[in-house]
Amino acid sequence: MPTLDWRNRDEATRAAAGTPLHILREVPEMGVGGASENLLVHGDNLAALKALLPFAAGQVKCIYIDPPYNTGSAFEHYDDNLEHSTWLSLLYPRLQLLREFLSEDGSIWISIDDREGAYLQVICDEIFGRPNFVSNISWQRNYSIKGDSKGIVTSAEHIVVYSKREGWSPNKLPRSAGMDRKYKNPDNDPQGAWRSDNPYASDGATHQGMVYAIQHPFTGELLYPSASSHWRYRQEEMLSHMNGWARYELKDLGDAEKRAEVCGVAESSVRLGVKGIVLAESLADAQKHAYEVLANGPWPKFFFSKNGKGGIARKTYLSAVGEVAPSNLWLHEDVGHTDEAKKEVLKLFDGKSPFATPKPERLVKRILEIATNPGDLVLDSFLGSGTTAAVAHKMGRRWIGVELGEHARTHCAVRLRKVIEGEQGGISKAVGWKGGGSFRFLELGEELLDGNGAIRESIPWEVLAAHVWWKETKTGWGVAAAARPEGSIHRKSPVLGVRGGVAYALLYNGILKDRRVDGGNVLTKRTLALVREDLGSASFDSLVVYAEWSKLGAEALAAERIVLKQTPYDLDIRK
């Protein structure tokens, strides 16, 4: 597969692995409602993503990001006039980490413009895998073109979509009022509104038994499917529908030449014995019956268009069509435009906002409708004005938002508090939003290891446990555990859990709050008993214990099926 090269590419590809692991510290006064799985994180998003990964790896159903476009057009909080190589080096490691957050049925959606879209797709092919490319969606960002515009006006931006695994299946979308307006009921059909549809299906050559003549009850003309097509229903059912207009019968018409022409085969190869559906009464009587049906209704499922003067058409009922598959063309009347987005933000912040290019809530709503269900976890690591978190909250999704600028406090947190209070802008009325919920505000804190490579005294047990669990299983410890204050959960045992036949335990201060040999950091008979007690009847083949050291000898460890890993040396938390 082709790859993209640029200055400092090698450093960019190693940046994620080389980013030290940090702790996240909660700022309670900035959040709402205490314990919550909704997280607003303030800090550099590369380091913040690395800090979040042990808690949420493999758990995010949808990632939406609106990174700087490298055009000089973004709001002041982002450096959006980056040199091209620097821009690629900014995105590459972040996309590497973001992939690790996705669940197996997850997807990532990235807003981008024409300037960098092609380059973005090449590096996404490399990181997510080319077979996992889903779509390049065109969003109509403007609803009008200014009279003094020059050149080719940019009316659309792009949303590039990749899945975690090949074969990802999107949700279908609710029908719009505009779609439903195409359905009428001119004949008072008891099955309800319908629209005219094609009576044919393709490939007549392989369905020759469904290629035959139907006599028109109004004109007497013999009607055949269009070239290379066949009627959608077999003769018995089509005969039943035609009998709703007049009296019909099956009759051998000796029309092999015409049927061969429709099927696109030689006359010698056409199927023999296929009869036509023809009138069983005079044309005058058939016309009389057909005009009565036309005037009084309801018409059969296969009807004659143009008030009886046209060809055969088929009814498709509104009650049968259901939801619709999403397309890669999103018009502004369906998902909003940039002017709508600016007005939403200005209304939230009393007519003042530093955000020049926010996205409308309806756009993010469309993404979450396609990619998630209520209760799923959504992540945006370029949160900007907070739109993704606000929309996810209103739609009943859990969310994580990461923002570098100070507006994480001055705008994002403020906006989300207003959402919880029940603000009625954006999509609120469309989704019936009345308020409620909670979120926690987290600051990117210190590194886990100090300058000497030792674990910092300030690191809570839950944080180190998440990193151990992630290192061993490559799965998240759970979003709810992120940034819990030390001691917020009273643990009687250091057991992390069992996965793939292996049990895991961490002996670290935070269990019994001290560093004595019998206090929880060293593997002894006493701490092993605590581990065994908490494991109970759990089935496992081996037990991995992280500890400072062990008072049990090699033979005792082998007998207990224990693999000892020494902290901090075996943590390998710099990777």
Structural contact between residues 551 and 529, judged by C-beta atoms closer than 8 angstroms: no
Confidence of residue 529 (pLDDT cuts 50, 70, 90): confident
Where residue 546 falls (left for φ over 0; alpha for ψ -120 to 50; beta otherwise) is beta
Pick from 312, 284, 457, 389: nearest CA to 65: 389
Instruction: Return d(Cα 256, Cα 150) in angstroms, integer.
Output: 61
* pLDDT of 320 strictly over 50: yes
Phi, psi of 207 (to 5 degrees): -135, 50
Confidence of residue 75 (pLDDT cuts 50, 70, 90): very low
Where residue 422 falls (left for φ over 0; alpha for ψ -120 to 50; beta otherwise) is left
What's the CATH number of domain 9-169+326-445, 3.90.850.10, 3.40.50.740, 3.40.50.150, 1.10.3720.10? Answer: 3.40.50.150
Pick from 146, 144, 150, 80: nearest CA to 113: 80
* pLDDT of 452 strictly over 90: no
pTM: 0.82
Give 510's contacts (C-beta < 8 A, 6+ positions apart): 460, 461, 462, 464, 486, 487, 491, 520
- Enter the DSSP assignment of 170: P
For residue 575, the model assigns a pLDDT of: 46
For residue 395, the model assigns a pLDDT of: 98
For residue 511, the model assigns a pLDDT of: 53
Q: DSSP 3-state assignment of 386?
A: coil
Give Cα separations from 559 to 419, 520, 553, 555, 562 (angstroms): 57, 22, 10, 6, 8
> Which tens digits make up the pLDDT trace of 43-54?
999 999 999 999
Q: HEC profile for 194-236?
A: EEEECCEEECHHHCHHHCCCEECCCCCCEECCCCCEEECCCHH
Phi, psi of 125 (to 5 degrees): -55, -40
Phi, psi of 41 (to 5 degrees): -110, 130
Confidence of residue 355 (pLDDT cuts 50, 70, 90): low
Place of tokens 């008993």: 529
- Enter the DSSP assignment of 298: P
> Which tens digits make up the pLDDT trace of 286-310?
999 999 999 999 999 999 999 999 9
Task: Select the highest-mean-pLDDT range: 6-20, 352-366, 418-432, 518-532.
Answer: 418-432
Least confident range from 3-12, 276-285, 307-316: namely: 3-12
Instruction: Return d(Cα 276, Cα 216) in angstroms, integer.
Output: 12
Give 516's contacts (C-beta < 8 A, 6+ positions apart): none
Confidence of residue 461 (pLDDT cuts 50, 70, 90): confident
- Enter the DSSP assignment of 486: T
Instruction: Return d(Cα 392, Cα 63) in angstroms, integer.
Output: 11
> Which tens digits make up the pLDDT trace of 241-286?
999 999 999 999 999 999 999 999 999 999 999 999 999 999 999 9
Q: What is the dihedral of CA 337, 340, 344, 349, to 10 degrees?
A: 110
For residue 504, the model assigns a pLDDT of: 94
Q: DSSP 3-state assignment of 396?
A: coil
Domain span(s) for CATH 3.40.50.150 in the chain = 9-169+326-445
| Two tokens, residue 331 | 């018009």
Structural contact between residues 26 and 38, judged by C-beta atoms closer than 8 angstroms: no
Instruction: Return d(Cα 527, Cα 492) in angstroms, integer.
Output: 10
Confidence of residue 68 (pLDDT cuts 50, 70, 90): confident
| Two tokens, residue 255 | 């029309």
CA 344 to chain centre: 24
Pick from 24, 117, 138, 18: nearest CA to 67: 117
Give Cα separations from 232 to 23, 213, 275, 306, 477 (angstroms): 63, 13, 16, 21, 54
The neighbour count for residue 295, using CB atoms within 10 Å, is: 9
The strand order across the sheet containing 302-304 reads 194-197, 312-317, 302-304
Q: Sign of the C-alpha dihedral, residues 506, 507, 510, 512?
A: positive
Pick from 537, 517, 535: nearest CA to 526: 517
Instruction: Return d(Cα 466, Cα 358) in angstroms, integer.
Output: 34
Structural contact between residues 255 and 218, judged by C-beta atoms closer than 8 angstroms: no
Structural contact between residues 307 and 294, judged by C-beta atoms closer than 8 angstroms: yes
Our CA angle for 366, 367, 370, nearest 5°, is 85
CA 572 to chain centre: 32
| Two tokens, residue 389 | 């978190």
Confidence of residue 531 (pLDDT cuts 50, 70, 90): confident
What 113-119 contacts at long range (C-beta under 8 Å, 24+ apart), as own/partner pairs, is 113/69, 113/71, 113/154, 113/157, 113/158, 114/154, 114/158, 115/69, 115/70, 115/71, 116/69, 116/70, 116/71, 116/84, 116/87, 117/158, 117/160, 119/4, 119/84, 119/88
DSSP bridge partners of 230:
201
For residue 73, the model assigns a pLDDT of: 42
Least confident range from 143-152, 456-465, 542-551: namely: 143-152
Phi, psi of 214 (to 5 degrees): -125, 125
* pLDDT of 356 strictly over 90: no
What is the number of residues in the chain? 575
* CA-based max dimension of the chain: 106
Structural contact between residues 395 and 374, judged by C-beta atoms closer than 8 angstroms: yes
For residue 510, the model assigns a pLDDT of: 52
Give Cα separations from 127 to 89, 120, 122 (angstroms): 13, 11, 9
| Two tokens, residue 567 | 């902290």
Pick from 277, 192, 196: nearest CA to 239: 277
Q: What is the dihedral of CA 90, 94, 99, 103, to 10 degrees?
A: -140
Confidence of residue 322 (pLDDT cuts 50, 70, 90): confident
